[in-house]
Structure 1
Amino acid sequence: MAIIRFVLGLLAVILFAGAAALTGERIAAPGVPSASDVRAARNLALSLAGTATAEGPSEITASRAEMESAARVLMNGVPRLRIAPRLADDALAVKANVRLSGGTWLSGGLRIAESEAGGYPEISGNLGVLPLPSFVVEPLLGLAHKAAEMRAGTRFPTTREAILGFESRDGAAHAVLDLPRGLLKGVSKLAPSDDAIDGGRVNRLYARTLASLGDRPLDLPDVYASLFEGAPRNGEAARAHARAAMVAAAMLTVGPRAARLARGAEAAHHPEFPVVLDVSLAGRADLAKHFALSAALAAAADPSIGRALGTWKELDDSLAGGSGFSFVDLAADRAGLRLGEAAADPARAGQLASRFAAGAPDLLPLSTLGLTEGISAEVFERRYRNISSAEYAAAVARVDRALDTLPVMAR
C-alpha cells in the first residue's frame, strides 16, 4: 500500500508540477545584508560545521532572526535564489524561489514539524501550490540520498540517521544532529566536476615551488612567477596550468586547506608540507592571503562567489572585535579575482604565463595602500549606507580604476 501511495504521489508531481511551479508563492526581493547579518550567518554556519566535527550527537539552535539574516546573506551571494524561513510554534517552514533560464521562477518549500512521539520530525513540502505530504517527501529524500552517494562516491547519513530530534520553542528552532566526521568534505564532492582543477597538477606545482623557493620570506609576485615557470602558452593546456597555479599559490600563502578547491588535491597532499609560508604583498602578509585565496576561488568557481565572500569578510570585520572594513583588503581581493578570472580564460591564461615568465609583475597598485581602513559598522553605514548604495559602488569603482593601471590586471 505504501508503494502504491508513493507511485500515485510521484505521478501527481509529474503531471501537475509545471502548472504548480508557476502559481506558487513568490518571495519578495531580499533586503541588503548588513554587517550584523553577516556575523549572524557566519556564526550559524560555524555552529552547523561544528556538529560535523563533534563526537556523537549535538544540538544546534537557530533563532528566527538568525535564519532571516542567513537568508539575506545567501540571497546576496546567489541572486537567482530567494528564500524565506518561517518559524511557528511547532514547525520550521522554508519557502524558496529559484529563477530558471528565461526568467521563470520555480517555487517550493519544506516544512519540518515536531513529531508527537519526539525524535525524528515530520517532513512535508510543496511544489508551487501542489502539496507534498510526508509519504511523498520521505521516498524523494531517499532517492536524493542515493543519488548523492553515487555522485560523491562516499557514504552519507540518511535524514533519519542525521536528524535525531527537532522542536520549535522560544522563537527558535532546536535540532539534535548526528553528522559524521568528514561529511563536509564528502558534500564538496557533489559540486560539478567536469571542469574541476586537476589536483595532481596542483600538488606537483606546490611541491616544485616549495622546493625552489625554500622556507624564506617571499613576495607574492615571485611565488606566481615560480609557479608559471615553463608553463604552456596556448589553449587548454595553458588554462589547466594557470588554474592549478592559482590553487597552489593559495596553498603556499593561506595554507594547504586551499587544496579543497581542486579535485583530489587534498587527499594526495603530503602531511610533511609546511602549513604556510612567509609570503607578503606590498609588504603585508594579510594582503597576500586576500589576493591568493580570491584568485584561487575565481579560478575554481564562479568569481561572483569570491566577490561576495570578500565583501562579507569586510562587513564582519567592521563589527566589534574586528579590524574594521578595509578598502585595501578589498582591493587585494578584487585584484586576486582578476588574476583568477584570467587563469580560467583559455584566451588569457597563456598571456599570464608570458607575463610572469618576463619577471614578477606588480599585482597591487601602491595607490591602493592609501585607501581607507579600520571603518566601523556605524561609520560604514553613515558614509556608504549599505553595499548596494551608489556611494559604495563609487568607492569600489575607484578601486577598480586603480587596478586597471596594472598590465597584468587588464581585462
Structure 2
Amino acid sequence: MRCLAWLLAVLLLPLTVAAMVVLASLDQTALVTRGETISPRSIAQARSLLESNDPRRLHRGDQRTADIPAALIDEGINYLASRSLHGRGAFVLAEDTAEIRLTVRAPGPWTPRYLNLSAIFREAEGEPQVAAAKVGTLPIPSVLVEWLLASAVKAGGFGEEWQLTRQSIRQLVFEPARGMVGVTYVWEPGILDHARSRVFSPDDIAHLQAAQRALAGLLDHHAARARVPLATVLTPLLTRTGDATQQQARASLLVLATYLAGENLATLLPEARHWPRPRPLRLTLLGRDDSAQHFGISAALAAWAGEPAANAIGLYKELDDSRGGSGFSFADLAADRAGTRFGQLVAQDSSRLKDALRGTLTDAELAPPLGGLPEYLSADEFQRRFGGRGNRAYQQQLREIERRVAALPLYR
C-alpha cells in the first residue's frame, strides 16, 4: 500500500504542480478586452486575399507571396478565441516581431480572474519561431510553447494539416509601417483537401446530399421561374424527417443559401456535382427576392460561422452596394438580421424553433415588416444622411431594426 501511495504521488505531482502554476498565473485584469464583432473591412480584405490567392488557380509547387493585413489576422485570432475558447485574442505587429495575445476568463464563483497568455514570434526563413512567451507574468520556455502548440493542434485532430502548412511556409516578413505580414509559401493541394474534410464531416456530407435532394424535390412542384414564398419551402426542408435535428437543419440552410446565391454547391463540395440540381425559381420573402436572399444567406452563415461573421458580411454587402450596386438598404439589413437570428436558433438547437416548425411558418413570422426603412442609398447619400457607422442617425436605424426583429415571437 505504501508503494502504491508513493507511485500515485509521483504520477500526480506534475499535475499538481501544473495546476498550482496555472492558479498562480491568474490575473485580476484581462490582457485583451474587446468585443466579438468582425468589421466589414475585414470581410473585404479576406475576399481580396482569397481572390489573389485562389487555390483553384494554383498548382502543386507554385511559390507565392501573400500580403496579409495585420488587422485581418487580429480579428481572425479574436474570432477563433471567441468561438473555441470563449475568450478574446489579439495580434500586435512590431519591428521584426509579432505578438499573439489571448485572454480566457477562469471559471469559478470568485471575483473574475483571467488566464492571460502571450507569445512573440520573430521573422524567420521557414515556419514561424517563438521568441518569447509567458502565462500572466510567468515566462515560459519557447520550446515548451512550440511543443504545447503542436500537441494542442494534434489533440484537436489537425496534426496533418498543421504539418502541411508548416512545410509550405518559406518566409515570414513583418511590416508594421504597412500593417502587413508577408507570407511566402509553396502551394500544397493537400492543405485544401484536408481543410475541406475538416469543414464537412462524413455525416455533414450525407445531410447536405439529403437536403439537396429534398430541395430539388420541393421545387419540382413549381413551374420554372415561378415566384414562391420562402416560408413554404423552408419549413418542409428543415423538417423532412420529422423534427429538425441541428445537423440536418444546418445542412438544409447551407443548401438553401447556396441556391439563393445562384451558386453551385459543388464549388464548396466537389461531390455535389453529381447531386440533383434544384429547378431555378424565384424564392421570395415578404414578396421580395432580395429579402429571401439576405435572410437565407445570413441564416446559413450564423448557423455555420456564428453571428459576428453573418452580421459583418451583411453589412459589407450593403456598403459595397452603395458604391455602385443597388445602393445601401436598411431593409436588406433587417432581412439579414432576421436571418441571423434564425440561424442562431438553429445553432442553439432551440426548442422554440422546433415548436414553431411543427406548425407552418409564414413570411411575417420569419422577418419583420420593412416599410419605412431607407433603401437604394448611394455612398454619397448614405454619408450625407447617416454619416459613419458610429453616427447617431445610423445607430437609430439599427435600433429600429432590432426592435422590429425582437417583436417577432420567434426571436423574442
TM-score by structure 2 length? 0.71
Distance in 2 between residues matched to 1:377 and 1:106, nearest whole Å: 44
2:87 aligned with 1:83, yes or no?
Answer: no
- Give 1:59 shift: 0.8
Relative to structure 1, the CA distance from residue 41 to residue 199 in structure 2 (aligned partners, 3 Å threshold; closer, same or farther) is closer
Distance in 1 between residues matched to 2:294 and 2:392, nearest whole Å: 25
2:274 aligned with 1:271, yes or no?
Answer: yes
Of 197, 207, 216, the match for 2:213: 207
1:27-77 Cα offsets, whole Å, 9 max, x none, are 464799765565345434655x64686323321123xxx323663587589
TM-score by structure 1 length? 0.71
User: What residue number does 2:360 align with?
Assistant: 355
Relative to structure 1, the CA distance from residue 186 to residue 109 in structure 2 (aligned partners, 3 Å threshold; closer, same or farther) is farther
Distance in 1 between residues matched to 2:199 and 2:294, nearest whole Å: 24
Tell which deviates more after alignment, 26-35 or 244-253: 26-35
User: What residue number does 1:134 align with?
Assistant: 142
Of 116, 120, 133, the match for 1:111: 120
- Give 1:336 shift: 1.7
User: What residue number does 2:242 align with?
Assistant: 232
Of 331, 334, 341, the match for 2:337: 334
Relative to structure 1, the CA distance from residue 373 to residue 138 in structure 2 (aligned partners, 3 Å threshold; closer, same or farther) is same
Relative to structure 1, the CA distance from residue 281 to residue 400 in structure 2 (aligned partners, 3 Å threshold; closer, same or farther) is farther
User: What residue number does 1:247 align with?
Assistant: 254
Distance in 2 between residues matched to 1:120 and 1:298, nearest whole Å: 33
Relative to structure 1, the CA distance from residue 121 to residue 328 in structure 2 (aligned partners, 3 Å threshold; closer, same or farther) is same
1:53–1:181 contact (8 Å) kept in structure 2: no
2:368–2:404 contact (8 Å) kept in structure 1: no
2:23 aligned with 1:54, yes or no?
Answer: no
1:346-404 Cα offsets, whole Å, 9 max, x none, are 24313223114xxx644666841652234456655665555466544431232244446
2:313 aligned with 1:309, yes or no?
Answer: yes
Structure 1: state its 5+ residue gaps. Answer: 1-8, 261-265
User: What residue number does 2:103 align with?
Assistant: 97
Distance in 1 between residues matched to 2:203 and 2:382, nearest whole Å: 38
Distance in 1 between residues matched to 2:214 and 2:397, nearest whole Å: 40
User: What residue number does 2:370 align with?
Assistant: 368
User: What residue number does 1:6 align with?
Assistant: none
2:94–2:174 contact (8 Å) kept in structure 1: yes
Distance in 1 between residues matched to 2:375 and 2:100, nearest whole Å: 38
Distance in 2 between residues matched to 1:32 and 1:201, nearest whole Å: 30
Distance in 1 between residues matched to 2:302 and 2:44, nearest whole Å: 24
1:244-287 Cα offsets, whole Å, 9 max, x none, are 43333224323454997xxxxx4753535338834332554433
- 1:19 is paired with a residue whose SS is helix
Distance in 2 between residues matched to 1:288 and 1:322, nearest whole Å: 18
Relative to structure 1, the CA distance from residue 96 to residue 239 in structure 2 (aligned partners, 3 Å threshold; closer, same or farther) is closer
Say how many residue pairs are matched. Answer: 379
Distance in 1 between residues matched to 2:135 and 2:200, nearest whole Å: 25
Structure 2: state its 5+ residue gaps. Answer: 1-13
User: What residue number does 2:400 align with?
Assistant: 398
Code of the residue aligned with 1:249 in structure 2: it is L
RMSD of the TM alignment (CA)?
4.4
2:125 aligned with 1:123, yes or no?
Answer: no
Tell which deviates more after alignment, 346-355 or 176-185: 176-185
- Give 1:108 shift: 2.1
Relative to structure 1, the CA distance from residue 200 to residue 273 in structure 2 (aligned partners, 3 Å threshold; closer, same or farther) is same
- RCO comparison, higher one (Cα < 8 Å, 6+): 1
1:24–1:129 contact (8 Å) kept in structure 2: no
Code of the residue aligned with 2:191 in structure 1: it is L
- 1:354 is paired with a residue whose SS is coil
Of 213, 220, 223, the match for 2:233: 223
- Give 1:176 shift: 1.0
